[in-house]
C-alpha cells in the first residue's frame, strides 16, 4: 500500500491540527511522596499536544510541516512562542479561555515517571468553527493532514469526522491519532488511523488481550470503511499494521529511555514523513518505530534527533506477516 502519487503543491506538504494543545512542563524530583511537598529540580518547557509535537518532529526529520491550533491566555502565548522558536510555521486561532498545562515529574529514586494532564479549555462554537476554517486554508496546499490529540471539553464528538470531510473535499490524506469520543465517532475518510491497544480497547469495548483480537479489531475499522489502514502501537513490543492486503507485526528497537512522553507522536510524524517521501506503508511504519525509539532518548517532549532516527531506522527489523 502506497499513498497516491500527486503533483507537488506549494506550501507545507504536512499540516497538523491540535485541538487541545498544552504547555508541557517537565521536571525532576528525588522522590515523589503523597502529602509531603515535592521539591523539584529545574524545569523544561515545551509546546505540546499531539499535532504540535508531530509538526515539530516532522520538521526535525526534514519534512515541510506546519501546525494549526487554538491558543489562549498567557499559557497559549507561550505555546505559540515555543512553536515559533522551533521554526515550524503555524496558524494560531485566538480563544478566550486559557490553554492547559501538562506536568511530568521524573522520580530519580524509583525511576518512575508521573504525568498530570489537565482537561483543557472549553472552546466556543465560533472558535471551533474558526479552527476548521483555518485548517481548510492550510490544507489546500497539503498532501497530508495529521489530526492528533484529544478534543477539548465541549467539542462535538464528530469533530474529527468534520476534519475528515474537509480532507476528502480538498484531496488531502488524513492521518488520525486520537481516542475517546473523537475516535468512536469517525465513520469514514481516514487514510491511516494510529491507535494504542488501550485506545482501541476503549473504542471497541473488548479486552483485546491477544494479538489475534487486536488484529481483528483493526481490521474491523478497515472493513467498515472508517480507515484504509490501521497501526496499533504496542509500546516496547512494537506495532501491528493492518491493511486490506493483510497484517504485519513490527518489532521495536531497544534504547536507553530518558522520557516516554511523545513517543507515539514521533511514530505518527515519521510515518507521515515516510508517506511524503513516497515510501510504501511498511517502510514508513519502520521509520515510525525508529523515530519513536529516538524520541525516548530525548528529555521532556523535545523533538527527537534526526540522526538518531535515521540510525535506528537501519536496524529496525523487517516486519513479519500475522
pLDDT (0 to 100) of residue 8: 45
Asked if 90 and 67 touch (Cβ cutoff 8 Å), the reply is: yes
> What is the pLDDT, as a whole number, of residue 289?
97
Q: Which of 24, 46, 143, 265 is catalytic?
A: 265
- Vertex 173 angle, CA 169 and 174, to 5°: 95
pLDDT at 7: 43
Kindly give the parts of the chain with pLDDT less than 50: 5-8, 10
Asked if 265 is an active-site residue, the reply is yes
For 141, list phi and psi in degrees, rounded to 5: -105, 10
Rounded to the nearest 10 degrees, what angle do helices 125-139 and 159-170 cross at?
A: 30
The confidence score (pLDDT) of residue 208 equals 92
Question: Which domains are seen in the chain, by residue range?
Answer: 14-20+49-97+122-321 (3.40.1190.20)
Q: What is the pLDDT of residue 260?
A: 82
Closest CA to 251 of 240, 259, 262: 240
pTM of the complete model beyond 0.75: yes
pLDDT at 5: 44
Amino acid at each position: 500500500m502506497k499513498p497516491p502519487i500527486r503533483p507537488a503543491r506549494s506550501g507545507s506538504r504536512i499540516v497538523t491540527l491540535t485541538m487541545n494543545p498544552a504547555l508541557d512542563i517537565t521536571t525532576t524530583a528525588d522522590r515523589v511522596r503523597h502529602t509531603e511537598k515535592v521539591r523539584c529540580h529545574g524545569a523544561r518547557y515545551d509546546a505540546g499536544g499531539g499535532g504540535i509535537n508531530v509538526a515539530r518532529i516532522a520538521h526535525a526529520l526534514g519534512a515541510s510541516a506546519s501546525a494549526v491550533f487554538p491558543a489562549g491566555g498567557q499559557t497559549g502565548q507561550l505555546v505559540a512562542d515555543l512553536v515559533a522558536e522551533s521554526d515550524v510555521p503555524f496558524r494560531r486561532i485566538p480563544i478566550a479561555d486559557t490553554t492547559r498545562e501538562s506536568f511530568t515529574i521524573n522520580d530519580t529514586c524509583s525511576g518512575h515517571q508521573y504525568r498530570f494532564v489537565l482537561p483543557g479549555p472549553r472552546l466556543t462554537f465560533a472558535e471551533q468553527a474558526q479552527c476548521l476554517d483555518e485548517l481548510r486554508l492550510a490544507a489546500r496546499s497539503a498532501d497530508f493532514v495529521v489530526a492528533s490529540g484529544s478534543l477539548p471539553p465541549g467539542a462535538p464528538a464528530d469533530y474529527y469526522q468534520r476534519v475528515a470531510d474537509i480532507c476528502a473535499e480538498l484531496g488531502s490524506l488524513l492521518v488520525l491519532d486520537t481516542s475517546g469520543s473523537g475516535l468512536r465517532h469517525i465513520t469514514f475518510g481516514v487514510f491511516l488511523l494510529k491507535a494504542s491497544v488501550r485506545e482501541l480497547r476503549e473504542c471497541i469495548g473488548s479486552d483485546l488481550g491477544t494479538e489475534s483480537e487486536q488484529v481483528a479489531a483493526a481490521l474491523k475499522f478497515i472493513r467498515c470503511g472508517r480507515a484504509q489502514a490501521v497501526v496499533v502501537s504496542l509500546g516496547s513490543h512494537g506495532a501491528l499494521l493492518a491493511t486490506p492486503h493483510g497484517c504485519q507485526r513490527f518489532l521495536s528497537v531497544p534504547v536507553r529511555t530518558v522520557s516516554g512522553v511523545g513517543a507515539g507522536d514521533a511514530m505518527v510524524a515519521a510515518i507521515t514523513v515516510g508517506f511524503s517521501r513516497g515510501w510504501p506503508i511498511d517502510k514508513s511504519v519502520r521509520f515510525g518505530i525508529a523515530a519513536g525509539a529516538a524520541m525516548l532518548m530525548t528529555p521532556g517532549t523535545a523533538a527527537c534527533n534526526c540522526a538518531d532516527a535515521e540510525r535506528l531506522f537501519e536496524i529496525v527489523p523487517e516486519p513479519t506477516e500475522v
